[in-house]
Chain A
């Protein structure tokens, strides 16, 4: 009976239930299915890891880009500081010149006022002596 059934590819299993597949094939199939599931899980995990890695790398890239721009900016700033300094120096020099000429003006005014005071004192002394 079993042989006849085997001819039409039907089998009994251990608990005498009728089956389409041979017992060892069934086992293999189940094994395959489990392995596939495992593989799928692993692939998913891998994808997760990879995407987080990508994010990380992207962040890093952005950071690097930012830093690069900042560095370029700083470098330019450094370059322009020299120029700024120069123009600032010119500005201050012009201001100093202005103030110096003003000082000269005031100095000479002060000088003549001192001379004037001296002559007036002299006159006062001369007049007091006469008294």
Chain B
């Protein structure tokens, strides 16, 4: 993954560019010390002056009113908030007319930001004050008073707290003053910039000591970057929260959320004062000290699935390769590619306007459909359908490009992370964004009858803890659909979503990441130093669960490892340092599960007899018992020395044969 950087030949600003922000996916505003507000269009590569402010107007930061899909009157959109060096903040409409100017601070007003819900704004100044204002510019409260300048302040994603810098310290303060503040020493130098991501709830900070550091909201350090020679002047999270970019003198660096670096660029631009990501997370704009505004988009994203690999090699070009047959091809698109997803024998590509579904067996004839809005943040695939998460909402399509459902889950869908949505072949599960203990499970229409979105049945599951990750099983009939969930205590639970009274069965604790096999009902979890495979997560008895669980030790996984996928007994794990590890676990068990799912009991028995593995026999025993295959279960239970079960089965077979044959 790397940046492709572009800029106009001549600088359009005559002085330092101080701030940039995105209007929509193709439009950027920039403002600099030449008092000009410029609007850049990336499609036709234009740069138009919007307005020229008075001569004493020296901007320090700029923020566009957050675009929420729900509520909010239309005229409130496109309202630009600009803070200036004379201590004022200005509310400017998108034509460049100053609607309101409010004196906020003594000395310069260093930053001004709308709250994510759009209800208010904060300003921070050289006088060390952080103030909260209503949307119309009336002072609500002075939240922070100190004697040192506050260089940066940001809202928490839920708008209930703010994070501000205080020399070397970062401070989180809740708006309700009763709750205590969290304050920690973050750097050895003055902290210049911070950012807080809504998706992963992590904070990144950059300081004069040349480090960028990632923190959780309790002030624990997640990772630290390498030392840069120059102070870090800007940081920005990508909207999805999977990476961030840091700007410094003549330098931009793209890093993973775990802190390791994807790429380093050295454009000769002077210091980069501000960096902003586009809403779709594929492009960014940076304000440079030499009067340039540079644009970068991410290319070289790589995706692999089985024997296919595809790479985005340009803004509109994807190269795809079949490694086995050595067939390769370049796919050109009419618009910029935003999201790519590869899996389940399909390649799905979302561009600004359309979505292309390529079948991997014949990738030159894609099915296309139009998108509602050009801000696709995620594409999920399953065996029968695909799910597109846009700012306008979630939509589920079939692979023929037909809209199956557009479930409403409330909340803003652009803050949905990968871990809080899961798509099964016939179900979609979403964690509620406001109450994270609640999970909505939507039944998707299968077959040929398309139902309207209103009568798609919704099941609500309520967990006792805040849910961090959910995953739906990928195979089996809908009545057996299971969901694995991880809560904030890192406990793993499994629940059958179609049960009348859903019961959360705890499978284990200290599980960091979890994934279902895409072809069987094998659940794989990752602990700090081991991989665990639950072959029969639906086994209700605890001893059966223990017998059918395979565990394998793995060392030095680093911080925050996660499982990427599981296929044919091979688990792909992304380690903390970014390297992908392939580990074989439960290959025979998965084979067995495949036999069982197609009712090939003789082959299953044959496999067990050949391999002679205790866990494998236990799996077969439990599965045969669940599927009422008593002769098979009898043999299997005998081999794992569960003699009471053998006796029970023999009793059943001899005493109630008529019922058995009926079933």
Instruction: Point out residues on A near B: beta carbons under 8 Å.
Output: 87, 90-91, 94-95, 97-98, 101, 104-109, 112-113, 115-116, 119-120, 123, 127, 130
Pairs A–B under 8 Å by Cβ, sample size 13: A91-B266, A95-B264, A101-B261, A104-B577, A104-B579, A106-B579, A108-B575, A108-B579, A109-B582, A112-B581, A116-B570, A119-B584, A120-B584
Q: What is the bound-complex CA distance between A87 and B260, given in angstroms?
A: 23
Residues A90 and B229 in contact, CB atoms below 8 Å apart? yes
Please give, as numbers and ranges, the residues of chain B lying within 8 Å of A113 by CB-CB distance: 582
Q: What is the bound-complex CA distance between A112 and B582, given in angstroms?
A: 6
With both beta carbons as reference points, the residue of chain B lying nearest to A110 in the complex is identified as B579
Q: Is B226 an interface residue (CB 8 A)?
A: yes
Given A105-B577, A106-B579, answer yes or no on A97-B226 (Cβ-Cβ < 8 Å). yes
Q: What is the bound-complex CA distance between A104 and B26, given in angstroms?
A: 37
In the complex, number of A-B residue pairs with CB atoms less than 8 Å apart: 45
Partner of B226, one of A94, A104, A109, A119: A94
Please give, as numbers and ranges, the residues of chain A lying within 8 Å of B226 by CB-CB distance: 94, 97
Nearest Cβ distance between residue B259 and chain A, in whole angstroms?
Answer: 11
With both beta carbons as reference points, the residue of chain B lying nearest to A126 in the complex is identified as B611
Partner of B584, one of A106, A109, A116: A116
Please give, as numbers and ranges, the residues of chain B lying within 8 Å of A109 by CB-CB distance: 579-582
Partner of B581, one of A104, A108, A120, A123: A108
A-B pairs, 8 with minimum CB distance: A105-B579, A112-B581, A108-B579, A116-B582, A109-B579, A119-B584, A112-B582, A109-B580
With both beta carbons as reference points, the residue of chain B lying nearest to A113 in the complex is identified as B582
Q: Is B102 an interface residue (CB 8 A)?
A: no
Please give, as numbers and ranges, the residues of chain B lying within 8 Å of A127 by CB-CB distance: 610
Partner of B577, one of A101, A112, A115: A101
Contact size range, B: 10 to 19
> Which DSSP category, helix, strand, loop or mixed, fits chain A's interface?
helix
Q: Is B144 an interface residue (CB 8 A)?
A: no
With both beta carbons as reference points, the residue of chain B lying nearest to A94 in the complex is identified as B264
Please give, as numbers and ranges, the residues of chain A lying within 8 Å of B261 by CB-CB distance: 98, 101
Q: What is the bound-complex CA distance between A29 and B584, given in angstroms?
A: 128
Residues A123 and B229 in contact, CB atoms below 8 Å apart? no
Please give, as numbers and ranges, the residues of chain B lying within 8 Å of A94 by CB-CB distance: 226, 264
Residues B578 and A105 in contact, CB atoms below 8 Å apart? yes
Please give, as numbers and ranges, the residues of chain B lying within 8 Å of A105 by CB-CB distance: 260, 577-580
8 Å CB interface, B194-220 against A: none
Interface string of B579-604 (1 = CB under 8 A from A): 11111100100000000000000000
Q: What is the bound-complex CA distance between A95 and B282, given in angstroms?
A: 24
With both beta carbons as reference points, the residue of chain B lying nearest to A99 in the complex is identified as B264
Counting chain B CB atoms within 10 Å of each CB, the highest count among A90, A107, A112 belongs to: A112
Counting chain A CB atoms within 10 Å of each CB, the highest count among B229, B266, B578, B584 belongs to: B584
Please give, as numbers and ranges, the residues of chain B lying within 8 Å of A104 by CB-CB distance: 577, 579
Not counting A95-B264, A108-B577, a sample of 15 additional A-B residue pairs whose C-beta atoms are within 8 angstroms of each other reads A87-B229, A90-B229, A91-B266, A94-B264, A97-B226, A98-B261, A98-B264, A101-B577, A107-B579, A109-B580, A109-B581, A113-B582, A116-B583, A119-B584, A123-B587
Q: What is the bound-complex CA distance between A70 and B578, given in angstroms?
A: 52
Please give, as numbers and ranges, the residues of chain B lying within 8 Å of A120 by CB-CB distance: 584
Partner of A130, one of B263, B580, B584, B610: B610
Q: What is the bound-complex CA distance between A112 and B261, given in angstroms?
A: 22
Please give, as numbers and ranges, the residues of chain A lying within 8 Å of B260 by CB-CB distance: 101, 105
Q: What is the bound-complex CA distance between A107 and B581, given in angstroms?
A: 10
Please give, as numbers and ranges, the residues of chain A lying within 8 Å of B581 by CB-CB distance: 108-109, 112
Please give, as numbers and ranges, the residues of chain B lying within 8 Å of A112 by CB-CB distance: 581-583
Please give, as numbers and ranges, the residues of chain A lying within 8 Å of B610 by CB-CB distance: 127, 130
With both beta carbons as reference points, the residue of chain A lying nearest to B578 in the complex is identified as A105
With both beta carbons as reference points, the residue of chain B lying nearest to A106 in the complex is identified as B579
With both beta carbons as reference points, the residue of chain A lying nearest to B264 in the complex is identified as A98
Nearest Cβ distance between residue B527 and chain A, in whole angstroms?
Answer: 18
Please give, as numbers and ranges, the residues of chain A lying within 8 Å of B575 by CB-CB distance: 108
Q: What is the bound-complex CA distance between A85 and B580, given in angstroms?
A: 36
Nearest Cβ distance between residue B205 and chain A, in whole angstroms?
Answer: 20
Q: What is the bound-complex CA distance between A101 and B579, given in angstroms?
A: 10
